[in-house]
Structure 1
Amino acid sequence: MKKILLTSAGGSAALGFMRSLRKAASDYFFIGCDADKYYLERSEADEKHLIPLASSPHYRNILLEIIEEAKPDMIHTQTDVEVHRLSAMRDDFDRLGIKYFLPDHETIEICLSKFRSYEKWLQAGLTVPATHYLHTPDDLRRAFDQYGSPVWIREDKGAFGKGSLPAESFEEAKLWIDVRKGWGSFTAAEMLDPTSMVTWQSIWHKGVLVVAQTRKRLYWEFGNRAPSGVTGLTGAGVTISDPNVDRIAQQTILAVDPSPHGIFSVDMTYNRVGVPNPTEINIGRFFTTHHFFSEAGLNMPHIFTSIALGGSAPFFEKKINPLPENLVWIRGLDFLPKLSTLEEVEKHEERLQRRLNRIGNTKTP
């Protein structure tokens, strides 16, 4: 039996990770830890432990005590804050013989800062949205002078579109940052197309690419309830294959780490002339809807875990985008996700159009 300790075990990303591994084999046992008692209760882990927040001074000692009791073979997490926290505990895990599969700590530090990542990509000659770090209102005014309106405002660190806003004016952006006490932790960037985004999810082992798959986001779930339209909650995604995306994603990763090791998921947004710009790397974890690929036939969590536990990297005849194009994953609140194809989805529109055409050709009595 393979015992996996998974932190933030009640979240959607952890749920997808567990379901993926259970789809691959029946001998996985999950030790779930979460700082939220309700999330912990809803977790599908076999054994559950409430732990402090990763920011707590007691986090390390409590987690180590659970490790001593449960004796897991491996530890993993699916949240940025705990990727960073667990990365800092490598010496503890090495001492206890616990496996992990993480990039270098410095790589994690760079990727968790959107501005530090931007600087690396700019130095590498990649096309990226021009960005200012906002220490003072003068920095914000310079951003509007340089980029025009709107300007994309977001927090330097944090997932799920944290603090993001397409600000139409200096006054609107300043108020947004003032309310959040965000001077020194926000950035302002030139506006890209927030409706056209792709993610290139990949696993690397000691500098060698194991496998990668591209997904295009079709829409954000609850996007109409967020000021920026970005919620970090993918409503539907579709598999695609684009050599240009493949090339830029690899350049993006190698710009921050010449010898990648672990999970690198590159988020890209297209600019006005159709060039994908890297906006962040989700480092050390899979994106939330990675269960999509597992159900479609590419079980990246199982591949990742097998390598971490000492297995060899599998061989792929096609290691970049091995899944067929136009597979669709549809998800939302309180219903199970659905795997379909773009063709099936578009049939609904075609049927509606035929009805509209018939109505249009019929005189109303």
Structure 2
Amino acid sequence: MYNILVTGAGGTAGVNFIRSITLSDKYFVVGTERNKFHTLFPNVNKMEVIPNHSDHNYLDELRKVIERNDIDFLHPQPTPELQVIAKNRDALDVETYLPAPEVVLRDKLAQQRVLERNGIDVAKTIEISSEADLHDIEGKIAFPVWVRARRGAGGRLSNKCHSADDVLLWIKLCVSQGRAKWGDFIIQEFLEGRDMAWDSLWHEGKLVTSYARERLEYPFSQLTLSGITGTPTVARVIHEDKVNLAAEKAVRAIDPSPHGCYSVDMKEKDGKPMITEVDSGKFHTTIGLWGYAAIKHLKLPAIYALPNLYLSIGLEKQVPDMPKYDIYPEIYLVRHIDCGAWITDWHNLKEKVL
């Protein structure tokens, strides 16, 4: 049995990741959380409360958890913890399966610049570091635009703006409320097309497997200015060569030797996938839920659950032979708070997952 540590275990992504891997009896799972209320959520063998990633004691406390529980493998779930751990993993003396630190630590603006230099189709992106940068913005990008944070997840600081005045008002509001500072924002062209996501696992430069989906609905989107709340309530698996190839090409541009998990966000423009973000060292939030459904309900082999495959390769260094793309059938995942989760094809398949 392997001892696995999952940080941020009480968040939605952590709970889903753990839900998938605990279908196996190979793992003793320890979770860490900074929020004591969230320690109730994950199905772990042991839970520990540690400081926030920004606390100067964070690494020392994490190291104590690793030593106290004889941890064999560390999976950092939230992006802020991933970045701290990627930067300091040599000091932690525990197995991980992560990209190189310099790849993990790039912000969204740096990512876009790398993608552009490598000829990847991306949403046009402009840096905004001061109010002066907005003076001639309408000559650089067409409105409406998408204002978003350079760092973070879940649609942080995002809003659709229809003019330079809108952009200025939005940034000033975020700054005045203490949610951000000038220099935390980028502006991207607003793309009206389909909202798509791609999750993948790589080993020493080779793509192991992947799947793509289209996001169709977000939770409580009517209550937010942006309509984006991070993770979808309705998504459907899609099998499209152009999506797979665009995402794979984007990962290879970001990292010449991809290793670990990579997630890609895309919006469509005139039928073409445009890359809006590549998250290195991260799966999307629902990866574990798809994996759980794949094993429990679709009766696929355990390696078709990407969290389980990720742990297997990370620990045992053996890469199975499996499809590079489209590992799941074209089905829907429908879920919502307090309503459970369902997989369906709207014809013959309708199963309650949670």
Normalized against structure 2, the TM-score is what?
0.91
Match of 1:309 in 2: 315
Aligned to 2:102: 106
Contact 1:8 1:32 in 2 (8 A): yes
The Cα offsets for residues 21-45 of structure 1, whole Å up to 9 and x where unpaired, read as 122x123211110011111233322
Quote the offset at 1:144 in angstroms.
2.6
Give the SS at the match of 1:180: helix
Count of aligned pairs between the two proteins: 336
Q: Closer, same or farther in 2 for the Cα pair 1:142/1:344, shift >3 Å?
A: farther
Aligned counterparts of 1:91 and 1:191: Cα–Cα separation in 2: 40
Mapped contact 1:143–1:151 kept (Cα < 8 A): no
Q: Name the counterpart of 2:325.
A: 320
Q: Which amino acid aligns with 2:230?
A: G
Question: Counterparts of 2:191 and 2:40 in 1: how far apart (Å)?
Answer: 40
Contact 2:343 2:349 in 1 (8 A): no
Structure with the higher helix share, 1 or 2: 1
- Structure 1 342/158 Cα, relative in aligned 2: closer, same or farther at 3 Å? farther
- Cα deviations across residues 49-68 of structure 1 (Å, max 9, x unaligned)? 11000011010111111111
Deviation, structure 1 residue 191: 1.0
Q: How does 1:175-194 map to 2 (within 5 A)?
A: 175-181=169-175, 182-193=181-192
**Partners of 2:198 and 2:329 in 1: how far apart?**
15
The structure 1 residue matched to 2:342, chosen from 338, 358, 364, is: 338
1: CA distance between counterparts of 2:123 and 2:26? 46
Q: Find the counterpart in structure 2 of residue 162 from structure 1.
A: 156
| Structure 1 residue 249 displacement after superposition | 0.7
Counterpart-to-counterpart distance in 2, 1:99 and 1:308: 8
- Structure 2 distance, partners of 1:221, 1:344, is 26
Counterpart of 1:17? 17
Q: Name the residue aligned to 2:2.
A: 2
Do 1:266 and 1:280's aligned partners in 2 also have CA atoms closer than 8 Å?
Answer: yes
Whichever residue aligns with residue 97 of structure 2, its letter is F
> What aligned pairs does 1:1-365 form with structure 2 within 5 A after superposition?
1-23=1-23, 25-94=24-93, 98-110=94-106, 113-181=107-175, 182-193=181-192, 196-271=194-269, 273-294=270-291, 295-296=293-294, 297=300, 298-316=304-322, 318-325=323-330, 327-343=331-347
* CA distance in 1 between partners of 2:128 and 2:155 (Å): 17
Question: Percent of aligned positions with the same letter in both sequences?
Answer: 31
Instruction: State the Cα distance separating 1:345 from its structure 2 match.
Output: 9.3
C-alpha contact (below 8 Å) 2:19/2:289 kept by paired residues = no
Separation of aligned partners in 2, 1:81 and 1:311: 27
- Name which one, 1 or 2, has greater alpha-carbon Rg: 1
Q: Gaps (5+ residues) in structure 1?
A: 347-365
Aligned-pair CA distance for 1:292: 3.8
Q: Which residue of 1 aligns with 2:297?
A: none
- The CA distance in 1 between the partners of 2:272 and 2:241, in whole Å, is 12
1:238 touches 1:342 (CA, 8 Å); kept in 2?
A: no
* Residues 14 and 77 in structure 1, CA contact (< 8 A), matched pair in contact too: no
Tell me which stretches of 4 or more aligned residues in structure 1 moved more than 3 Å: 342-346
Structure 2 CA distance for aligned equivalents of residues 13 and 209 of structure 1? 23
Q: 1 CA distance for matches of 2:329 and 2:125?
A: 36
| CA shift for structure 1 position 331 | 1.2
- Letter in structure 1 aligned against 2:69: A
Contact 1:29 1:46 in 2 (8 A): yes
Superposition TM-score, scaled by structure 1 size: 0.88
1:311 and 1:188 map into 2 onto residues whose CA distance is 41
